[in-house]
Amino acid sequence: MNVLSKLLRAPTIVLVMLVWSAGVLALPVALAPDRAADGQIDLTPYIALVEDPEGRLSVDDVRSRFEAGTVAPAAPSGVNLGLTRSAWWIGFSIPPQGSPKEAAQYLLELGFPTLDRVDYYAPGSQTPVRTGDLVPFAQRPVAHRNFVFVLEASGSEPALVLLRLESAGSLSVPLTLWTPAAFAQHSQVSYAGLAAYFGALLALLAYNLLLWTSIRERVYLDYVLFVTGLGVGLAGFNGLGNALVWSGWPWFANLAYPLGFALAAYGIAQFTRSFLSPKPVSARLDLALRASSAISVVTAIVLVGFSYPLGAKMMTVATVLATSLAVWTAVYCLVRKVHAARLYLLAWSLFLLFGIAFALRNHGLVPANFLTLHGLEFGSLLGMLLLSYALADRIQTERRDKEAAQAQALAARQANIEQLQRSERELEDRVVARTTELASANARLLQSERQQRELAQHDMLTGLANRALFSDRLQQALVIAQRERSRFALLYLDLDKFKPVNDTHGHAVGDLLLKEVAQRITHRVRESDTVARIGGDEFVFILRAIDTDQSVLHIAEAIRNTLNQPFLMDALTLQISCSIGAAIYPDDGNDELTLSRVADGAMYQAKNSGRDRVCLAQACENVKIG
């Protein structure tokens, strides 16, 4: 019996629940209060909705549904329908006003200026007042950035006010009822706040644009693109752009919000790449930012040329992707000790914090106050100020790095000058002996130029002429000898037993020995003769204006004998010898190549004949000339 009773009671319970649900749906819409202490009434608790998927319902159809109570109440957090293809009817009832003399005038504000089409039906009217961002701004019933309608109610019965809404973008319906005085004061404050915000935005934009025109660094242009896109998007979102800038371009008013944020997303990705330079630390992050930029460009193309609803969805994806990548890149670079990442991460953190607060306020999860109502503006302004400061800090950092690099360059230059001065001091005695014009400033300048030339033409170790200067002197000797019909000798000298010195005592001792050899050779030739070092232990001489072969032999033997004398190197006594080969112009040749080859061959003949000797070309055997 108990089981049967339960089975009989179950359908009854279901029936009661269905009747109760129908009763709830049929409840009349609550009347909006007739007065508010502060001159405004948030209509969210008092509005109801009717969805019109086909867009075919007439105003009479909708009024019938409101009278029958077959409408859906608004959510406590507000009417936010997202992206929808349906037309939506929004209605609310105002209480009776008594006699016409007592009737109050209100202003109805719809605070979402990106809606494409808004039809306002006054109580009992069959003819709508049409507006929207696709309608020229001049045709609005009240010249305001939001959609505002004059609501005059009278009579002894509650009056139903209807709005029909359609939009290709997001559909949100924040409705507020204002007294004229309160609305005027509210508009004045909101316009002043927005003017201050966009004034700061324009100042940042102009400042960084001027920096870009002056410095021509890509990072400033990317920042300008980001600020421009954000400014256009926000001006489209809050209706200020439509009211003050592009009021005569309804086509652009419809596109400004998503198109501006698509440009901002592109600027965010590019600015992150140029500011943080993530490629050296992560090529994948750089590639992801490039892809984000490409998505933003495609989004703009879709918005302008193809599909607004699709473009609006893509804009959301592009903005979230670019912002997320910017934060992740900043975190990654901060971990990798990139200096610029700190301020960059702080700027985007503030941006996201206020943006989240704004979104939570839209869903009723945080209280509505001045900060949460204007979270996007506060977050973006603080973020952009920090980013601008980060750019300024970047300039300072680059300036300090440049100064440090200049200081290092000056230090390196000073070190080079000191090295040159040390080399100059090694040659100072000979330079002073040959130069008598160092007394004046002009002479010092000429001497400096000469010293630079000397360094380029002399052997750094011994101070003798190097191969380049020797070749030049040999050419001069040929020209003079041909003009004066004189003779000169070319001698090649190679040290004997020098390699064992290096192997036994080291290259430092070998270098000291070469310097001493150079000095002994120099003391045995005339001032007009040329002595050069052309290899490790190989020297050449040009003996000008010789009289006979014997005079050449005399000088060569004197050099050989002086090099046979022991060399005292600190605690070491070194003994070496040399082999010398000589060629005489014009007897052994009349050009540089021939004379050099003959003298070199004579020197090798001296070595092959037992070393420590002098060999004239014509007196040597097996020497091929020509």
How far is it, in rounded angstroms, from Cα 264 to Cα 60? 44
DSSP code of residue 524: T
For residue 309, CA distances in Å to 55, 168, 169, 258 come to 17, 5, 6, 10
Catalytic residue (one of 119, 133, 537, 588): 537
> pTM value?
0.57
Q: CA–CA separation, 183 vs 399, rounded Å? A: 52
537: annotated active-site residue:
yes
Contacts of 146 (CB under 8 A, 6+ apart): 109, 110, 111, 112, 113, 239
Report the SS3 class of residue 574.
Answer: strand
Q: Please report the pLDDT score of residue 562 as a whole number.
A: 94
Looking at residue 565, what is its pLDDT? 93
Q: How many angstroms separate the CA atoms of 610 and 239, rounded?
A: 105
Q: How many Å apart are CA 323 and CA 272, to the nearest integer?
A: 10
Give how far Cα 26 sits from Cα of 32, 206, 214, Å.
Answer: 18, 58, 69
Give how far Cα 558 sits from Cα of 33, 552, 580, 613, Å.
127, 10, 11, 11
pLDDT for the residue 27: 41
| Backbone CA torsion sign across 169, 171, 174, 180 | positive
pLDDT given for residue 20 in this prediction: 31
pLDDT at position 154, please?
60
Helix (H, G, I), strand (E, B) or coil at 294: helix
What residues does each domain of the chain span?
28-178, 195-400, 461-619
Q: Give residue 581's Cα distance to chain centre.
A: 67
Q: DSSP 3-state assignment of 39? A: coil
User: CATH 3.90.1150.10: does it fit domain 28-178?
Assistant: no
- CA 339/CA 345 separation, integer angstroms: 11
Alpha-carbon distance of 532 to 468, in angstroms, equals 10
User: Where does 461-619 sit in CATH, by number?
Assistant: 3.30.70.270
Per-residue exposure over 357-370, b if at least 16 CB sit within 10 Å of its own CB, e if not:
bbeebbeeebeeee
Strand partners, 48: 73, 91
Burial of 516 (0-12, 13-18, 19+ CB in 10 A): middle
Task: Profile the chain (626 residues) by mean pLDDT over runs of 10 residues.
Answer: 38 34 42 66 87 88 87 80 85 70 72 88 88 88 90 71 87 86 87 84 83 81 86 85 84 85 89 85 89 92 86 84 87 83 79 67 55 66 74 72 80 82 77 65 68 76 90 93 93 92 90 93 91 92 90 93 90 91 93 94 93 88 39
Which strand (E) or helix (H) includes residue 298? helix 283-305
Please give the Cα distance from 145 to 235 (Å, whole number): 10
- What confidence score (pLDDT) does residue 102 get? 47
Whether omega for the bond prior to residue 100 falls within 30 degrees of 0, making it cis, is: no
What CATH number matches the domain at 195-400, 1.20.1070, 1.10.10, 1.10.575, 3.40.1000?
A: 1.20.1070
CA distances from 308 to 43, 173, 211, 298, 607 (A): 30, 20, 35, 13, 95
At 399 the pLDDT is 74
pLDDT computed for residue 5 by the predictor? 40
Phi-psi region of 506 (alpha: psi -120 to 50; beta: other; left: phi over 0): left
Tokens representing 44? 């969210």
Pairing type for strands 614-616 and 577-585 reads: parallel
C-alpha pair distances (Å), 314 with each of 160, 308, 322: 38, 10, 12
Angle between helical axes of 180-215 and 375-426 (0-180°, round to 10): 20
